Amino acid sequence: MFQEITYINFNRQIAHNIWLMGFCSNDLASFAKPGQFLMVHLIGTQKDPLLARPFSIHSVQDNDNLLILYKTVGKGTSLLSLLKEGDPISVIGPLGKGFPLPEKNQRPLLVAGGMGIAPLFFLTQSLINLYQHEIKMFLGFSTSQETILLNELTDLGIDLSLATDDGSLGTKGMVTDLLDQYLDQESNKIPLIYACGPVDMLKRISLKAISLNLRCYVSLESHMACGLGLCQGCAVKVNNIDKPYYYVCQDGPVFLAEMIDWEAL
């Protein structure tokens, strides 16, 4: 774990309200694992917004360039989008537990809903060498205007299936329908599911995976004050009588689907 003031390499809009930011940190980049996150704090905001914000590590490039992908949803992310190359930014990380890797007889199936693509892109980068032709990825976006990273994922050689809510690109409907259809087909390799996206999507995928007895990892989002296990603000209800709450920052953000109490979420 490191706490650093680092400098922005680039910060550019890549789709409607969606931004990609890169900053330099050799230490953070060399320890970062897919599924882990960073606490990113604006410098000189005069205490409002007060707290740092958690962001998944989206990618590591050239050994020392860390990327985050974010949507401008509030004051903090709007201010973040105004930062320019060379501006300083405060970063703590890498934090949390990442995605466990598949075993030999497993085929990685990645399911991303909207901004859920942020940590899964990093996962594809680390899986690609080991599972070149095995990775299957399902992407769901609300509309073609918010559809991102198709070219990058295609360039990696990943087998993609795309759905949009309005049908403006790919299949019209839910990404979970595409996944369900796929899972209902015969396969000689056991699927291992990695999912990140809206809670309703994760819940549906998890319940499906549990019913088929498939291993499924979900990456959860939560409000966090610290990201360091101090505040206990990021509680998530789990199926454990002795310890009913786990913490997204320390126990997660990646959880085994069957651990989560989906009724409570």
Partner 1 sequence: MSELPDMSVDIGGLVLKNPVITASGTFGYGNELEPLLNPSSLGAIIVKGLSLKPIPGNPPPRIVETPCGLLNSIGLANIGVNAFIKEKLPALQKISAPIIANIYGHTVREYAEIARIIENTERIAALEVNISCPNVEKGGMSFGTDAYTAATVTERVKNNTTKPVIVKLTPNVTDISIIAMAVESAGAQAVSVTNTLLGMAIDVSTRRPKLSNTVGGLSGPAIKPIALYLVNKVAAAVKIPVIGLGGIMDYKDALEFLIVGASAIQVGTGTFVNPRAAVEVAHGLYDYCLREKIYNINQITGSLKKGE
> Min. distance of Cβ 236 from partner 1 in angstroms?
7
Amino acid at 33: K
**Binding-site ranges for partner 1 (CB under 8 A):** 1-3, 41, 47-52, 90, 92, 222-226, 228-237, 243-245, 264
Distance CA 54, CA 65 (A): 18
Reported as type and span, the H/E element at residue 245 is: strand 245-247
CB of 205 to partner 1, least distance (A): 21
Q: Minimum CB separation from partner 1 for residue 240, in Å?
A: 10
Phi, psi of 166 (to 5 degrees): -95, 0
Token pair for 157: 């050689």
Nearer to partner 1, 90 or 143 (CB): 90
Q: Which stretches of 1-149 are assigned E, i.e. beta strand?
A: 2-15, 18-24, 37-41, 53-56, 59-61, 65-71, 88-95, 106-113, 136-141
CB of 35 to partner 1, least distance (A): 19
CB of 70 to partner 1, least distance (A): 17
Of 174 and 228, the one with the shorter C-beta distance to partner 1 is 228
* Residue 48: its H or E element: none
Cβ proximity to partner 1: between 157 and 244 the closer is 244
Separation between Cα atoms, residue 171 and residue 163, nearest integer Å? 4
We find the least distance from the C-beta atom of residue 89 to partner 1, in angstroms, to be 13
Nearer to partner 1, 90 or 106 (CB): 90
Distances (CA, A) of 87 to 17, 25, 224: 21, 14, 24
* Complex with partner 1: residue 82 or 235, whichever CB lies closer: 235
The residue among 79 and 225 lying less far from partner 1, judged by its C-beta, is 225
CA distances from 221 to 40, 48, 197, 218 (A): 15, 22, 9, 10
Shortest distance, position 44 Cβ to partner 1, whole Å:
13
Q: Which residues have C-beta within 8 Å of that of residue 47, sequence separation ≥ 6?
A: none
Q: Which is nearer to partner 1, 23 or 121 (CB)?
A: 23
